[in-house]
Structure 1
């Protein structure tokens, strides 16, 4: 895939602000996924959320003058497929690996962003950026706890693969799709997840499996008749994700992926903050120290950008 030539100037601080909005929104909406998972399935959730997201996009297309048609269809489809596949692998791994281990694997993405940016696209990567990624990832491991690094196996490679695909998709935002509008890439992202959701629903209908009760059956549950609660919280997810993911996409269009990816670490403390406000869940001293390291990593990149 050829790199785009009409890239925008690097605006790291503006990108940081957009990632902060993204993390705040996604951290809030993701706290209610547990309500969806109690009765619905992951694949039906993806398909339903994507349908709702596209309905919102189409309703807003005329009044907001949104441009949904891609300039480079091949690049947009490739990016959407890569991001969608990464998310499916991530959620699929949740069926047989601890949540902390899976999350830690996904948060290797900034490391892959550095490697791909440097060795495939030839972007110079300074020591401050390398240090920020290392400090941020150390903070992630501390937030997730010691269990994040336990149980290394072949299966544990899957979340790391998801992190690599997520990293490549984020790099593609600026390298392949710099001329696309944020709403075009947003529509492609939800279209890919919607198609994968429909495939998962069809597979679990044709080959039913034993499904645990409640949230434990989220990944393995096939299509069920949706309740009002499922539809309401899925709509909240769709609306929040549209704005949040749209901000994240715009951030990757404004600045180099190796800078923006460090800011994405902030989604962990944002989610923890909302969990405390909504559910009263508290964090250990180790987790709070990890959040401080995550903040320090973002500050390092922001101060470097100002200089």
Structure 2
């Protein structure tokens, strides 16, 4: 018997949760630049992780969350990979519009395919090969000629983050299938918090010249937090924890392929909030690249869903 027949597919509820998640993440990520002028990346991750873990710890008893890992080493490996990817991604947010940084990060499904093919020998058909080509073209359009010429490292960072994020997705699928979402989420914030502590310690012991404003976000060590910073970080931590929880729940309610496609709403959401909050507008090249990345991700997700359905039919 197909296990999915025991649990009703609540697609509309999953759509609502995913769209809300996209709106919350697009909004909260645009606030990074508000703290980038005065504080550093390491302190940002430490503060946000500490607050997010406090939120998880407070709600866990009331929601019956299970935080004990089945395979602790696998959970930590995934957390290190995902934490590294997000650490790099947030470093780019101080220099790039959120929509462009998110577009780079959302190329992760393309790298999942490539790594699965060349590292594990998994076959990929013509549809997914076409998706990889479209996604690569989308990255070229989003980054623009300057980034491709090596003129701006910040523009390439989200794609580097996507490669590491793809590795974390592969570890999730192959090693963490039995873990609860809250276990993975808590481990992720633990690792990011530790990264923040390490970064602040390094800059305290070996301080570097720090450029003024957001240009010094990556190199700046710990500074004394004010009420404005703590308020913004509390908002960021709350939106991140609740938003990621909503997205995780959506994957439990409906088909993975459909939710994966809807998750790409983060890209237009980020662009919308960038326009509302910062009066940023993207050119036609960036929008065309985002559209191609969304199309490539949709093709990969739906093709994987179709293959899974055929496999279920073949096994009865």
Question: What is the TM-score with the length of structure 1 in the denominator?
Answer: 0.79
Q: Structure 1 pair 111/62, CA: closer, same or farther in 2 (3 Å)?
A: same
How far 1:245 moved relative to its partner? 3.0
User: 2:287 maps to what in 1?
Assistant: 288
Give the 5 Å matches for 1:149-228. 149-151=148-150, 161-228=160-227
Rounded Cα–Cα distance in structure 2 between residues aligned with 1:60 and 1:155 = 37
Q: Is the 8 A contact 1:16 1:263 kept in 2?
A: no
Question: 2:296 maps to which residue?
Answer: 297
> Greater CA deviation, 36-45 or 156-165?
156-165
Number of matched residues?
296
Q: Which residue of 1 aligns with 2:44?
A: 45
Larger radius of gyration: 2
> After superposition, what is the alpha-carbon deviation per residue over 1:47-101, rounded to whole angstroms, capped at 9, x for unaligned?
0100000000011001111111111111101111122233345556889xx7589
Is residue 15–residue 260 contact of structure 1 (8 Å, CA) maintained in 2?
A: no
Q: Distance in 2 between matches of 1:132 and 1:155?
A: 25
Judge which range, 86-95 or 186-195, deviates more: 86-95
- Structure 2: stretches of 5+ with no match in the other structure: 310-316
The 5 Å alignment of 1:127-146 reads 127-146=126-145
Question: Equivalents in 2 of 1:185, 1:215: separation in Å?
Answer: 31
Equivalent residue, structure 1, for 2:241: 242
Distance 1:112 1:285, change over 3 A: closer
| Paired residues of 2:103 and 2:142 also in contact (CA < 8 A) | no
Cα distance, 1:146 vs. partner? 2.6
Q: Report the CA distance between 1:203 and its aligned residue.
A: 0.7
Inter-CA distance 73–82: structure 2 relative to 1 (3 Å threshold): same
1:272 matched to which residue of 2?
A: 271
Higher helix share: 2
Cα 1:187/1:297, change in 2 over 3 Å: same
Contact 1:140–1:265, Cα closer than 8 Å, also in 2: no
Closer, same or farther: CA 15–141 of 1 in aligned 2, 3 Å: farther
Structure 1 range deviating more: 235-244 or 175-184? 235-244
Write the deviation string for residues 17-70 of structure 1: whole angstroms up to 9, x where unpaired.
466554332211111101011211110110010000000001100111111111
Which residues of structure 1 form unaligned runs of 5+?
1-6
Deviates more, 1:173-182 or 1:21-30: 21-30
User: Partner of 1:114 in structure 2?
Assistant: 113
The normalised TM-score by structure 2 is: 0.77
Question: In 2 relative to 1, CA 137–233 (structure 1 residues): closer, same or farther, beyond 3 Å?
Answer: farther
Correspondence for 1:68: 67
